[in-house]
């Protein structure tokens, strides 16, 4: 498997964890996880030169 596919799988797990946190009424922690996930996704998109995300 390529790094791109592995990265997207990990990011999907981050979003599932975010939904779990929201369902368990831990909204502030879910916001931190979501912000971190968006930051990592953006940095990866900048580094990959348009090949990913």
Q: In this predicted model, what pLDDT tens digit does every residue of 2-52 receive, in sequence order?
A: 888 899 999 999 999 999 999 999 999 999 999 999 999 989 888 887 655
Angle, in degrees to the nearest 10, between helices 27-47 and 3-23: 160
Domain of 30, in residue numbers: 3-47
Query: Among residues 32, 5, 39, 7, which one has the least CA distance to residue 17?
Result: 32
CB 21 within 8 A of CB 33: yes
User: In whole angstroms, what is the distance from residue 26 CA to residue 19 CA?
Assistant: 10
**How does pLDDT run across 11-21, given as a tens digit for each residue?**
999 999 999 99
Name the pTM for this structure.
0.78
Q: How many domains does the chain have?
A: 1
């Amino acid at each position: 498997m390529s790094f791109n596919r592995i990265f997207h799988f990990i990011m999907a797990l981050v979003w599932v964890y975010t939904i779990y946190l929201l369902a368990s009424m831990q909204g502030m922690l879910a916001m931190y996880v979501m912000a971190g996930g968006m930051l990592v996704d953006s940095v990866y998109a900048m580094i990959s030169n348009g090949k990913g995300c």
